[in-house]
């Protein structure tokens, strides 16, 4: 059992925000691991979030069952799993400070991608681009659970209808989250404290999903995104700073 009150003070709202995002407002997922990693080792934070995400993903996939684009899924899913394997091998050689640097870099990169002006692409990316984007998504999402920017670069120009787009995204991240379980076990990320914390936070995530469904037509979604972006900026910068100073302290 994790007894640090600061962990719970950050974890509960972070998981709730993730649930709200999955309930219809979008966003939210990258924040939880980053906030938890301010108080506990980053790999432990990612391991706590994985069961929570796996449970929340079930509802989304059931709602859009078989509405995804099968051709795109056949490209992205194997590529994403390959990216997870690369991520697992990379993380196995990193200490906590290097993982903090990776987390902070991905968080700030996510922000940069969000605000960078995007030009409309005239041609759909090919299968090779799909493999590259899928692998990058699997790699960046292995620890941060924030693999959306690379895969969106491939998905958005495909001009799928709304249901197919949402369903394809859902099945991709659903599959990747469950695929992470094996390397997490291999890396021994799951222990009793992780599983207890995840079990206590799963109801918070589910409540967040229902709150998101209720809120999506009642609040201005821009305020939700501003909160997420502010948290990404603060936590990403703090983790990057902590990682760099930690390495210097051991140098």
Write out pLDDT tens, residues 125-184.
Answer: 788 999 999 999 999 889 888 788 788 888 888 888 878 887 888 899 899 999 999 999
Q: What's residue 27's pLDDT? A: 56
pLDDT exceeds 80 at position 224? no
C-alpha distances (whole Å) from 102 to each of 144, 146, 167, 208 are 9, 12, 29, 28
- Return the higher-pLDDT residue of 165 and 225: 165
pLDDT exceeds 70 at position 122? no
pLDDT exceeds 60 at position 121? no
User: What average pLDDT does the structure give for the chain?
Assistant: 85
pTM of the model: 0.84
Containing structural domain, residue 178: 5-250
Q: What's residue 248's pLDDT? A: 81
Contact 173, 22 (CB under 8 A): no
pLDDT exceeds 80 at position 63? no
Q: What's residue 203's pLDDT? A: 93
pLDDT exceeds 80 at position 49? yes
Contact 97, 192 (CB under 8 A): no
- Return the higher-pLDDT residue of 124 and 24: 124
Task: Give the total residue count for the chain.
Answer: 251
pLDDT tens track for 182-222: 999 999 999 999 999 999 999 998 888 888 777 766 777 67
Q: Which residues contact 110 (CB under 8 A, 6 or more apart)?
A: 30, 146, 148, 149, 232, 236
Contact 237, 104 (CB under 8 A): yes
C-alpha distances (whole Å) from 148 to each of 111, 131, 136 are 12, 14, 10
What is the rounded CA–CA span in Å between residue 98 and residue 103?
A: 9
Q: Which of 50-54, 137-141, 198-202, 225-229 has the lowest mean pLDDT?
A: 225-229
CA torsion 244-5-177-162 (nearest 10°) is -100
Secondary structure of the chain in the HEC alphabet? CCCCHHHHHHHHHHHHHHHHHHHHHCCCHHHHHHHHCCCCCHHHHHHHHHHHHHHHHHHHHHHCCCCCCHHHHHHHHHHHHHHHHHHHHHHCCCCHHHHHHHHHHHHHHHHHHHHCCCCCCCCCCCHHHHHHHHHHHHHHHHHHCCCHHHHHHHHHHHCCCHHHHHHHHHHHHHHHHHHCHHHHHHCCCCCHHHHHHHHHHHHHHHHHHHHHHHHCCCCCHHHHHHHHHHHHHHHHHHHHHHHHHHHHHHC
For the chain, the domain total comes to 1
Q: What's residue 57's pLDDT? A: 83
What is the rounded CA–CA span in Å between residue 90 and residue 180?
A: 14
Q: What's residue 25's pLDDT? A: 57
């Amino acid at each position: 059992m994790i007894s640090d009150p600061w962990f719970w003070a950050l974890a509960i709202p972070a998981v709730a925000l993730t649930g709200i995002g999955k309930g219809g407002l979008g966003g939210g997922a990258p924040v939880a691991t980053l906030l938890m990693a301010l108080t506990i080792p980053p790999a432990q934070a990612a391991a706590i979030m994985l069961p929570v995400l796996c449970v929340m993903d079930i509802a989304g996939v059931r709602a859009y069952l078989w509405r995804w684009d099968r051709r795109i899924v056949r490209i992205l899913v194997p590529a994403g799993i390959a990216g997870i394997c690369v991520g697992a091998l990379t993380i196995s050689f990193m200490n906590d400070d290097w993982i903090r640097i990776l987390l902070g870099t991905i968080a700030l990169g996510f922000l940069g991608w969000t605000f960078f002006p995007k030009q409309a692409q005239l041609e759909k990316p090919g299968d090779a681009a799909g493999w590259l984007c899928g692998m990058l998504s699997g790699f960046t999402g292995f620890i941060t659970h924030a693999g959306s920017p690379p895969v969106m670069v491939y998905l958005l120009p495909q001009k799928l209808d709304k249901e197919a787009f949402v369903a394809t995204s859902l099945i991709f991240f659903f599959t990747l989250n469950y695929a992470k379980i094996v390397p997490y076990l291999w890396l021994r990320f799951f222990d009793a404290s992780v599983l207890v914390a995840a079990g206590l936070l799963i109801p918070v995530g589910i409540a967040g999903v229902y709150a998101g469904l209720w809120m999506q037509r009642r609040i201005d979604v821009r305020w939700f995104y501003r909160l997420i972006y502010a948290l990404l900026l603060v936590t990403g910068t703090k983790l990057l700073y902590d990682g760099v100073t930690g390495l210097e302290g051991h140098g």
